[in-house]
Chains A and B, each alone.
Chain A
């Protein structure tokens, strides 16, 4: 780098700090997360979702043909819907899997490798450890959503195409490119918040175990259980508590005028999950054996 000036010795100095700076920790954590092969594999898979969707629709679908899952039918000849449809599709499994993997590796995986002990002995500080780990998982969540959204927009414009840079809403109105991209960004932000809810819960589970697979099983099992609970009519009163019951709100971004109720309430619900997950994580990490 640039510190090769011969006169000055390498700039490592002894410090009297009792904890390492949080910024350095978080940066190291993010670097570590991004170098991990499985993170990169999952991000690559996520990039394939909009591509596969777009190519499939371009090859087979036309307006009116589609009876595909979710919003897929709305994508044909309407490329800017692709990122939103792809996010909705990925939110059902692949995106939760990605953040759950990151959260599983963050605490349970580190414990399994014996590296958590090193961090506790440094010492990083147990609350700062949670903050640092949360930064890593947050990065994965944001990147995962961005990959789907950006690849989705590009695939939508290039492969699927559409009426000259506009988006046709489900309500039959037409939005210009700027507003269409705004809608995509809205869904991306909303999806990130939903993923953070999953990430917080996954981190909490991760704080209790040293088996990363337990975390993945808990998250995916939880999503399946939520799906089952949501399908039982006599448990309808549970609906407001289930994270997944707000996930149809993503399609609201394709309605015109934009209804914000569903997006807002599902965001609020996700934030409650985030707070509870974070509190449990901190509580458990403060008493966990290293």
Chain B
């Protein structure tokens, strides 16, 4: 064999390597804006709120730079990128798989019963469907629910605009942008919701904070296929050796937060929620499975987090993240909002 053919083979190998590395490194989903008929923000929002949700399957990528404390068992809440698999059968039937490197939390709703299975301790928790005060924890990862909620609550105090089109998970989308009014004292700069042009299902939620180039949070489908799903996905039979528990404590009415007075100060983007912090003597498990429809900061033991602060309102500890601030006072009050610290202290002093 001639030396020349070997040089060729070497170049070929180098090419394979370069292309392979390129494929591995290339970010998914970067693409040009597809042409779509213009739509007004109002039409877009209302079509989102009224659209029928058909069955689909997909993968939701959570790109998190919120700077939250790590919560055991829910790696998706920690900073970084993680993936959640979602199946929806329509009619309140769904399955969510939250993988961790060595386990998985599975949430299944068959329309009448909701199951939560944790592979690490092999427990299945059963709750009747439709009996919940807030969205189930898994749906917080579901952009459909998350975006709908965001639009509904933020519409009055925000500039709502349709900022062109884009492509998410291979689907053409409208970019709905919500920007706080200049009078709003908030940490947030804008919230973007990518809405599927065809199904009008929100596919991606992006939260941008003041003074930060990269999104503080991006939750969105990296992959989605619409169409009927295997019905067996939406049934759950506890496997042998599983501890099955009924979950009365999961209901919103029996949350400790629900027992305690809770008030809000302000409205719109600078709303501050003031409530009672969970007391150490509650005996409630603090493993991240509770209070997920509140801010996630509510779950872990707060006494060890944050910086000490004090003011005319008292003293306590402040926890600052990219998009929210929380103050836990020494007398057991808790104030939280997507606002700077000063807004919280004003609210507490009130």
Residues of A within 8 A of B (CB): 63-64, 67, 69-71, 73-74, 77-78, 127, 163, 166, 168-174, 233, 236-237, 240-241, 248, 251-252, 255, 257, 259, 261, 265, 268-269, 271-272, 275-276, 278-279, 282-283, 286
Chain A residue nearest to B120 in the complex (CB)? A73
Interface residue stretch chosen among B129-137, B162-170, B239-247, B322-330: B239-247
Find chain B residues with CB under 8 A from A64 CB: 121-123, 243
Contact present for A268 and B85 (CB under 8 Å): no
Pick from A166, A255, A276, A282: contact of B104, CB under 8 Å: A255
Query: A74 contacts B102, CB within 8 Å?
Result: yes
The smallest C-beta distance from B20 to any residue of chain A, in angstroms, reads: 3
B97-111 interface mask toward A, CB cutoff 8 Å, 1 = contact, 0 = none? 101011110101000
Judge whether B241 and A171 touch: CB under 8 Å: no
When distances are taken between beta carbons in the complex, the residues of chain A under 8 Å from B230 are 257
Q: A residues within 8 A CB of B10?
A: 279, 282-283
Q: CA of A78 to CA of B79 in the docked complex: distance in angstroms?
A: 33
By beta carbon, the residue of chain B nearest A70 is: B102
Min CB gap B249→A, angstroms: 19
With the chains together, A278 CA to B80 CA distance in Å? 34
Majority-rule SS of B interface residues: mixed
* A248-B103 contact, Cβ under 8 Å, with A279-B10, A279-B14, A279-B17: no
- In the assembled complex, how far is the CB of residue B121 from the closest CB belonging to chain A, in whole angstroms? 4
Q: In the complex, how many residues of chain B place their beta carbon closer than 8 angstroms to a beta carbon of chain A?
A: 43
Q: Which residues of A contact B122 (CB under 8 A)?
A: 63-64, 168
Task: Determine which residue in A169, A171, A236 has the highest number of CB atoms from chain B within 10 A of its CB, and name it.
Answer: A171
Bound-complex Cα distance A229 to B1 (A):
41
The answer to whether B24 touches A172 (Cβ under 8 A) is no
Closest to B26 in A: A240
CB-CB under 8 A from A259, the residues of chain B are: 85, 99
* B-side contacts of A271, CB under 8 Å: 20
Which chain B positions have C-beta within 8 A of A252? 99
- CB contacts (< 8 Å) of B119 on chain A: these are 74, 169-172
A279 touches B104 (CB 8 A): no
Nearest opposing residue in chain A for B87, CB measure: A257
Chain A residues lying within 8 Å of B25, measured Cβ to Cβ, are 237, 240-241
Counted as pairs of residues, one from A and one from B, with CB atoms less than 8 Å apart, the total is 111
**Cα(A74)–Cα(B119), bound, Å:** 7
Query: Which of B62-119 touch A at CB < 8 Å?
Result: 79-80, 85, 97, 99, 101-104, 106, 108, 115, 117, 119
Q: What is the CA–CA distance of A64 and B108 in the complex, to the nearest angstrom? A: 21
Contacts of B243 in A (CB 8 A): 63-64
A275 contacts across to B, CB distance below 8 A: 13, 16-17, 20
CB of A131, distance to nearest CB on chain B (Å): 13
Whether a CB of chain A sits under 8 angstroms from the CB of B296 is no
A174 CB to closest chain B CB, in angstroms?
5
B43 to chain A, nearest CB (A): 35
Are B239 and A272 within 8 A (Cβ)?
no
Please name all residues of chain B whose beta carbon is closer than 8 Å to the beta carbon of A278 when the two chains form the complex.
13
Contact of B21 (CB < 8 Å), options: A172, A241, A283: A241
